[in-house]
Structure 1
Amino acid sequence: MSVRFDNLGLSENLQKTVTKNGYSDPTPVQAQAIPIIQQGKDLLAAAQTGTGKTAAFVLPLLNEIEKDPTDYQPCSPRVLILTPTRELAAQVAENIEMLKGNLPVRVALAYGGVGINPQKKALAKGTDFLVATPGRLLDLIGQRMAKLSSTHTLVLDEADRMLDMGFLPDLKRIMKFLPEDRQTLLFSATFSPEIKKLSLQFLNNPESVEVSRNKTADLVRQTFYKVPKTAKADVIRDLIIDNQWNQTLIFTRTKYGADKLCKQLLRDGFKAKAIHGDKSQNHRSTALEEFKKGELPILVATDVAARGLDIEKLPQVVNYELPEQAEDYVHRIGRVGRAGLEGEAYSLVGSEELPRFKAIEKFLKTSLKATEFPGLNYENYKESSGSGSEGASRKKSSPRTSKSAPRNAKNRDSASKMDKSKNKSPRGSRRRASGKTSETRKQNETTRIK
């Protein structure tokens, strides 16, 4: 018998909210985690992005707060949720606001990169949930504006990423301010040795829940193209034009690579923005919001900057460069294929990236195949020795005037601007083999993880 929300012990109010927000049946991580959390037990959960893990801890915590309302104490949150990035913190807070429905629940948000005074004022009023990044939380604790002695539940969301970003010392400091008898919920992409060690330090006899790491990939059609580093910008442009994409998330491995690719896309007449750790919080927030609303057709991002990005029905992602860590590949493609919907992931694999490609195969425990990009004249490009998304170095060839500007209005700044300004024509300087179209490309080798 399948598990339903109405037999998970949630209140009538929460069940109505769940239905209103379009949820039908709980995801595997929700079905397994919610009963454990409601019993007050510590939890160690391995779940990828896109599995519904945020609702898995938010719903039972809302249920507990609804059953046991208390007077607000200044600066004393009942639930503390720690996230590795500002974007993820904002996303979690947004999900709480959505799932609480009409419940009189307060949510405070605290992260760096913005003024601290509004955050202090919100905490001074008292709050049920405090969603924070470790660094800003320690600032607030130091100013006596965050008191954790009465916090009954701690959630470590994407704990693996917090470890990767060097937050372990901060986490240890924060633990000293929390009660020993708290409930602790730790969510990670995998049960790595580091996560298991962390759970021994912070959790008390936890229950374990693990959602198959390949499950997110099941609904994603994965296509790998062998593309020289110097040809990648041209291939990206052709993918967008030929398929008339209106909403595309492109991943790069470095901040420099994100900026360089974004500048090239802008020169080619596309509307695009890049987000990474060196961008201001206002720039990142604005770009994310525009992309989610469909106002920005192309978003170029590093892995960390895209954490917390949750978009319904995102049709495709592109790996301009393969990530350093194989599990980050699953995080990336997990942006599509959500809520039972199919999506596509395209990866451009340079010769220098073959070790990363093999690592992804090993991680997914499957055989993958990278094919040549249809119509690409490989003789017109030569590999450069630079790292990341360094400048292209290629042989001269005839420009592709037939596709010199994006056909889709949503993907261009101005068609007339492209026509009048010859010096801004795209780098469409490779010859396409005759008869090679987007239909041919779609029929080309693709890989679906079964």
Structure 2
Amino acid sequence: MKFSELNLNDNVLEALDAMMFDECTPIQAEAIPIILENKDLIAVAQTGTGKTAAFLLPVLNKLSEGKHTPDKINTIIMSPTRELAQQIDKEMEGFGYFVSVSSVAIYGGNDGIAFAQQKKGLTLGADVVIATPGRLLSHLNLGYVDLSHVEHFILDEADRMLDMGFFEDIMQVVKCLPKERQTIMFSATMPSKIQKLASSILTNPEVIKLSVSKPAEKILQAAYVCFENQKLEIIRTLFNNEDAKKSVIFASSKLKVKEVARELAKMNLRVGEIHSDLDQKNREQMLQDFKSNNIDILVGTDIIARGIDIDDIGLVINYDVPNDSEDYVHRIGRTARANHEGIAITFISEKDQENFYEIERFLEKEIFKIPLPAELGNAPTYDPKNNSPRKQQYNKRPARNKNKN
């Protein structure tokens, strides 16, 4: 579908034409008409599907008509991280060049001057506020932010916000909003906690769920079947055999991230770590060091699975098997971007075999299992049906005595 087939006004279509946007992505084709009709919406779509334009364009379309209250905050877009807020703000600037709409980005990790500039934008009443939850709440608590005229409340990557512990912050902001508003929620996944949030803040929402796309063809996928205590030695072997590509390693918890990063540093590898214990300033500095090649390897939790937009990552390692297929696709999608090739390697311990088998079923193919280097010893057999935690728990039950009277 072309943008010209949607009910967008001439100002927005002119902006799209100048930016050489012609064809809608599937999420844009489905979401834009719903948002233009002022309906609440839950949209489940991956990063990279064009979702930012899917909510920006209809909001800009309404604002360009000039029917909103001037000098008041009309739209709030909340994002989980400073990096994503900056990306949204950048797209807003691109579209806003052709549509007379004011906006301000509100996020932490900067100095007092920036805070003062944010305060000025909020008190003057920017049409669109793009904010991280914690920083917006900081301004709200100081008493000078008026949200009584907000017509559109948008949560981008809502699942990440909940993963990062922002549920209470979101609900505090919601208490300051008018009950009569349009609420739009974008999420890459739809777990029960997202459904709970949606039922709390949305009214009779439309639901769009795009199927998870398969990984890019240029990603070479492979795996090691191994014991937990063999994983670090596999990494040592991988990086001893060739120069370290720019690499991302995903682990299941922040404690494991710290442990892996510490052990890689002992191997004299240039490594950094990102997890929720780091404040925004340190997370941003770590990402900048990674982008500028000051470090070669970045170890992190799923907090970065949809937050890194770097084109030259050559290798992704899943130190632990992700919980589901969607997380797997997001993780390995950090490589093979912008027509580059990439490698994704997953370490499969016994307890993770059933999860990985489900990922293979989703991919509709078997991932090649690389034999362990001989010096690391024997590997467990890849037998997902018998190595499932449920099966093992069942096998550990004491046998019932059928002859008991």
Cα contact 1:51–1:216 (8 A) shared by 2: no
**What are the equivalent positions in structure 2 for 1:122-271 lying under 5 Å apart?**
122-213=121-212, 215-217=213-215, 219=217, 220-240=219-239, 242=241, 244=243, 246-271=245-270
Deviations 1:277-297 (A, max 9, x none): 222422211222343455643
Q: 2:89 aligns with which of 75, 87, 93?
A: 93
Question: Matched residues in 1 for 2:259 and 2:94: separation?
Answer: 36
Give, in angstroms, the shift of residue 186 of structure 1: 0.9
Q: 1:134 to 1:357 in 2, by over 3 A?
A: same
2:369 is paired with a residue of what secondary structure? strand
Question: Matched residues in 1 for 2:147 and 2:22: separation?
Answer: 36
Could you say which residue in structure 2 is the equivalent of 1:78?
74
Any unmatched runs of 5+ in structure 2? 381-405
Q: 1:4 to 1:294 in 2, by over 3 A?
A: farther
Question: Matched residues in 2 for 1:24 and 1:296: separation?
Answer: 39
Cα contact 2:134–2:169 (8 A) shared by 1: yes
1:345 is paired with a residue of what secondary structure? strand
Question: Matched residues in 2 for 1:67 and 1:241: separation?
Answer: 61
Could you say which residue in structure 2 is the equivalent of 1:14?
15
Give, in angstroms, the shift of residue 187 of structure 1: 0.8
Any unmatched runs of 5+ in structure 1? 383-450
Cα contact 1:217–1:337 (8 A) shared by 2: no
Q: 1:54 to 1:291 in 2, by over 3 A?
A: farther
Question: Matched residues in 1 for 2:220 and 2:208: separation?
Answer: 27
Cα contact 2:251–2:300 (8 A) shared by 1: yes
**What are the equivalent positions in structure 2 for 1:274-293 lying under 5 Å apart?**
274-292=273-291
Could you say which residue in structure 1 is the equivalent of 2:327?
328
Query: Aligned pair 1:68/2:91, yes or no?
Result: no
Question: Matched residues in 1 for 2:256 and 2:24: separation?
Answer: 39
Q: 1:212 to 1:241 in 2, by over 3 A?
A: farther
Question: Matched residues in 2 for 1:175 and 1:239: separation?
Answer: 48
Question: Matched residues in 1 for 2:39 and 2:224: separation?
Answer: 46
Cα contact 2:246–2:312 (8 A) shared by 1: no
Query: Aligned pair 1:348/2:347, yes or no?
Result: yes
Give, in angstroms, the shift of residue 260 of structure 1: 3.3
C-alpha root-mean-square deviation of aligned residues, in Å?
3.4
Q: 1:255 to 1:341 in 2, by over 3 A?
A: same
Give, in angstroms, the shift of residue 45 of structure 1: 0.6
Q: 1:322 to 1:189 in 2, by over 3 A?
A: same
Cα contact 1:87–1:308 (8 A) shared by 2: yes
TM-score (norm 2): 0.78
What amino acid is the match of 1:284?
R
Give, in angstroms, the shift of residue 316 of structure 1: 3.8
Give, in angstroms, the shift of residue 156 of structure 1: 1.2
Give, in angstroms, the shift of residue 184 of structure 1: 1.3
**What are the equivalent positions in structure 2 for 1:319-398 lying under 5 Å apart?**
319-324=318-323, 327-336=326-335, 343-358=342-357, 360-361=359-360, 364=362, 366=364, 368-369=366-367, 371-373=369-371, 375-379=373-377
Give, in angstroms, the shift of residue 63 of structure 1: 3.2
2:143 is paired with a residue of what secondary structure? coil
Q: 2:35 aligns with which of 26, 34, 37?
A: 37
TM-score (norm 1): 0.71
Give, in angstroms, the shift of residue 270 of structure 1: 3.4
Number of equivalent positions? 373
Give, in angstroms, the shift of residue 209 of structure 1: 1.6
2:89 is paired with a residue of what secondary structure? helix
Question: Matched residues in 2 for 1:216 and 1:159: separation?
Answer: 22
2:377 is paired with a residue of what secondary structure? helix
Question: Matched residues in 1 for 2:69 and 2:240: separation?
Answer: 57
1:318 is paired with a residue of what secondary structure? strand
2:134 is paired with a residue of what secondary structure? helix
1:131 is paired with a residue of what secondary structure? strand
Q: 1:257 to 1:370 in 2, by over 3 A?
A: farther
Give, in angstroms, the shift of residue 361 of structure 1: 4.8
Cα contact 2:45–2:187 (8 A) shared by 1: yes
2:169 is paired with a residue of what secondary structure? helix
1:377 is paired with a residue of what secondary structure? helix
Question: Matched residues in 2 for 1:26 and 1:315: separation?
Answer: 30
Could you say which residue in structure 2 is the equivalent of 1:425?
none
Could you say which residue in structure 2 is the equivalent of 1:445?
none
Q: Which has the higher contact order (CA 8 A, sep 6+)?
A: 1
**What are the equivalent positions in structure 2 for 1:101-140 lying under 5 Å apart?**
101=97, 103-112=99-108, 114=110, 117-118=115-116, 119-140=118-139
